[in-house]
Chains A and B, each alone.
Chain A
Amino acid sequence: MGVVWMKRTILAVAVILGLIWAMADGPATAQSPRRGGTLRVGLNADPPNMDPHQSIAAVDRQVFQNLYDKLVDVNQDLEIIPMLATSWTITNAGKTYTFKLRPNIVFHDGTPFNAEAVKYNFERMLDRALASPRRSEIALVDRVTVVDPLTVQIDLEGAFSPFLSVLSDRAGMMVSPAAARRLGRDFAREPVGTGPYKFVEKRPQERIVLERFDRHWDRNAGFLERIIYRPFTDGQARLANLRAGELDIIDQVEPTDVPELKKDARVKLLEREGLGWQGMWINVTAPPFNNRALRQALNASIDRRTLVRVVFGETATPGNGPFPPGLLGSDAGPNGRIPERNLELARAKLREGGQPSGFAFTLKIVPGRVAQQQAQVIQSMAGEAGIRVNIEILEFGALLSQLTTQRFEASLLGWSGRPDPDGNIYGFFVTGGGLNNSAYSNPRVDAMLGAGRILTTAELRRRAYADILNVLNEDLPYIFLYWPKEYKTMSPKLAGFVHISDGMMRFRNVWLNP
């Protein structure tokens, strides 16, 4: 009797343990990464330049996320997290940053990553001969000192609160000093970083191939064998390729495709608030818009909510400033307060501006359905107040030239956005700013913009931006209209993808299910 009881107990325990083991293993297996496979990515353009110190196109950054490591990165909440730097201290009233670097890291060509390498990278970005677009981003860097092989100290000319955010993008991407010294500008054709994937080949307008780097420091990264990026400038073709199973993920979709994709079980659509803003540049240095009342008249005639509903449906949020939801400053002053359309005010402003029967101006736009629709809506809204809008379509290169030399009256152009609010406002409205197409100059705003990048507490910065936006909302060098949402469309087989508002596709921790 005792033996039988013991056998039954053992059997029962075994069965229970077996069940627990099976249940514990089941869901875990479905979630654990699979190694291998080739990820096929569709991009909206062919990335021109693989050197982060020379690159300006946003689409280059997509490839960089996996080819390079940065000193720091951002997470889904846009907080700064460690990457090549494991920790940092900020001292000397915000002017000195001391970074502790991760040990045992090598570049794809075997060169060790250390403080010397970091110093070299900064010197390269600051070198006038290279004319790097990063130079203006890190212009405040005064001196980079190697404290020890794994500690580097960066001294700035003045406090700069967006500094870490800047280092989470191209300015913080580390290139191999050996390769960069050897190749100079040609480094763009043979890029060498420390990322989980190394460069294999780039065929213009055809494909960019990356392959897993087996000596990468992060054991929890690099599950894929290979990543292939392919450019598809035509949005319909890009989406068709995803649907046909030829691509696993694409970087952009047309707003009109979104409602249908949300219901399509064959693809996975992720949606988030974006970081960018869109609206109209206004040239304040020449007629008609050198007259502030007329700018205010135009602003009052626009119904942002209707504009967004008609052109974008649910794929954008009406906005009145440069800080989309989720970004510090989104509740600063008038940023989130969408003004109601007010034709009475518009007409009053017209009278104040000496044009009681209205005036005419030319709105320059890039080709494309979205820009045209927006322009037409604005044209019809402004028309009701007596403001006649002529729409002119220009190729992008030509438009950019005209904007930077103030040979325009108004133009629809926005900004892709950055995780730190300074990146969304400073260069656009400071006197002489490289992105200040309006040629707007207001010393009070300059001072407050300067304050915004020196102050370190979120609350104080928010207040500075609120003050700035109150002024900008009156002066209107730019009429903010909406904040586009950020979408990523992918095959359901892609697992582990974390969607971040900057729109960058980070593949280090993803894998492909069969």
Chain B
Amino acid sequence: MTRYIARRLLLTIPVLFLVSLIVFALINLIPGDPALLFVGGEAGKEAVEALRKQMGLDRPMAVRYLFWLGRVVRGDLGKSVRDGRPVLDVLLLKLPVTVELAVVALTVAWTIAIPAGVLAAWKRQTAVDYTATTVALAGISIPNFWLGIMLIYLFAVNLRWLPPSGYIEPWIDPARNLKLMIMPATVLGTALAALVMRLLRSSMLEVLGTEFIRTAQAKGLSDRIVIVKHALKNAMIPVATVMGLQLGGLLGGAVITETIFAVPGVGRLAIESILTRDYPMVQGVVLFSATAIVFVNFTVDVLYSALDPRIRLVEEKA
């Protein structure tokens, strides 16, 4: 087991390296001059050129990448082009916000999705099933930006039950922090819940059709034990992969939801940095997101064995 973990951990390094290389190339290939965006046309071509030199943009892309890599290895993610703030500092500021939004959104999503998926599979082709499936479809189809604005107008402007947007640190005002999280988490959660619910439903249906379930039922075990203790655990395996991906994805930020609800997370940071061609910041955000996704997936893989002892990590035996 430990050898497996060690090997997987080592494999993350080339993955991260490759991701950072690809993104570096892409962002540099996008048309748009960071120096021009920073200083503006009024300053004149001479000032723009001077700034390009200062930003190191006159050096070839490969050289710049290697310099960046060298600094990263030493823990220095560079400084934002906009105001010289260290990239790492900004990321650390955004991290708790993004993590909190991800956790609350997924809690909302999975708390709805798992019981719904189980119910829909258990009571398949009844009214319960059809309702759940239709609601799930609606959840996937409704665009985030529309749902977000509708919720704001309903709950914040008209009913005034919730504050419309923003963020306050939970240690400063926990009550308001939670109130501010409800709507964005709901918006994010609906699409995520729908996917998990549908996947779980079909996975459950597959498991419920197997022989060992029939055996359990024949043994006289109650429905509840059959479903929860036996079927669900097995059905969760493919669903766990998706849930892991969802967590990883949310840790990369949810741009649209963050924009509408003015949540200062990693998503908005990413989009702003791209639009202003803040190369060091983009690289930092991408590195962070990629790391998050890689580690979450790694954790899910390791957890597989907890869900299903059959998936004993093959390396061990060989």
Interface residues of A (CB under 8 A from B): 46, 48-50, 56, 128, 131-133, 135-137, 185-186, 188-189, 203-206, 230-234, 236-237, 240-241, 243-246, 395-398, 400-402, 404, 427, 434-435, 437
Contact = CB atoms under 8 A, between A and B. Distances in A.
B32 A237 contact: no
Interface stretch (B11-19, B41-49, B122-130, B202-210): B41-49
Interface in B105-163: 145, 148-149, 152-153, 156-157, 160, 163
Given A232-B262, A237-B261, A246 B165 contact: yes
A393 B165 CA distance: 30
20 contacts: A48-B82, A49-B83, A131-B50, A132-B47, A133-B47, A189-B85, A205-B268, A206-B167, A230-B262, A237-B165, A237-B260, A240-B157, A240-B165, A397-B276, A400-B41, A401-B33, A401-B36, A404-B41, A435-B41, A435-B42
Interface of B: 30-33, 36-45, 47, 50-51, 54, 82-85, 90, 93, 145, 148-149, 152-153, 156-157, 160, 163-167, 259-262, 264, 268-269, 272, 275-277
Nearest to A128: B50
Contacts of B39: 56, 131, 133
B44 A231 contact: no
A483 B286 CA distance: 41
Q: Which of the listed residues B166, B261, B277 has the most CB atoms from chain A within 10 Å of its own CB? A: B166
A244 B93 contact: no
A189 B149 CA distance: 33
Given A133-B43, A234-B259, A246-B165, A397 B152 contact: no
Contact of B152 (A133, A188, A230, A240): A240
B275 A133 contact: no
Nearest to A133: B43
Given A50-B83, A131-B47, A204 B269 contact: yes
A427 B40 CA distance: 12
B149 to A, nearest CB: 5
Given A206-B167, A434-B40, 11 more contacts: A131-B51, A132-B43, A137-B42, A189-B83, A189-B84, A206-B264, A240-B149, A240-B156, A244-B156, A246-B156, A437-B41
A420 B85 CA distance: 35
Contacts of A205: 264, 268-269, 272
Nearest to B90: A204
B124 to A, nearest CB: 41
Contacts of B264: 203-206
B84 to A, nearest CB: 5
Contacts of B277: 397
A397 B163 CA distance: 34
B266 to A, nearest CB: 10
A232 B260 CA distance: 8
Contacts of B32: 395, 397-398, 400-401
Given A131-B50, A246-B164, A136 B268 contact: no
Q: Which 4 A-B pairs have the closest CB atoms?
A: A397-B32, A206-B264, A56-B40, A133-B43
Contact of A243 (B36, B157, B167): B157
B31 A434 contact: no
A135 B44 CA distance: 9
A351 B50 CA distance: 46
B273 to A, nearest CB: 10
Given A231-B262, A237-B260, A48 B93 contact: no
Contacts of B272: 46, 204-205
Contacts of B148: 237
Most buried by A among B50, B84, B260: B84
Contacts of A132: 43, 47
Contacts of A46: 272
Nearest to B265: A205
A135 B160 CA distance: 49
B44 A136 contact: yes
Contacts of A185: 84
B44 to A, nearest CB: 4
A245 B160 contact: yes
Nearest to A394: B31
Contacts of A398: 30-32
Given A131-B54, A205-B272, A400 B163 contact: no
Contacts of A237: 148-149, 152, 164-165, 259-262
Nearest to A139: B44
A233 to B, nearest CB: 6
Contact of A246 (B37, B40, B166): B166
B35 to A, nearest CB: 9
Contacts of B40: 56, 133, 434
A264 to B, nearest CB: 11
Contacts of A133: 39-40, 42-43, 47
A499 to B, nearest CB: 25
B43 A188 contact: no
Contacts of A236: 149, 260
Contacts of A234: 145, 259-260
Nearest to A186: B84
Nearest to A247: B164
Nearest to B256: A234
A427 B166 CA distance: 39
The listed residue with most B CB atoms (<10 A of its CB), out of A131, A241, A395, is: A131
Contacts of B262: 206, 230-232, 237, 241
Given A49-B82, A204-B264, A240-B164, A135 B47 contact: yes
Nearest to A136: B44
Contacts of B37: 397, 400
A200 to B, nearest CB: 15
A238 to B, nearest CB: 9
Instruction: Select the residue from B31, B38, B272, B275 with max chain A CB neighbours within 10 A.
Output: B31
A116 B268 CA distance: 42
Contacts of A206: 167, 262, 264
Contacts of B163: 244, 246
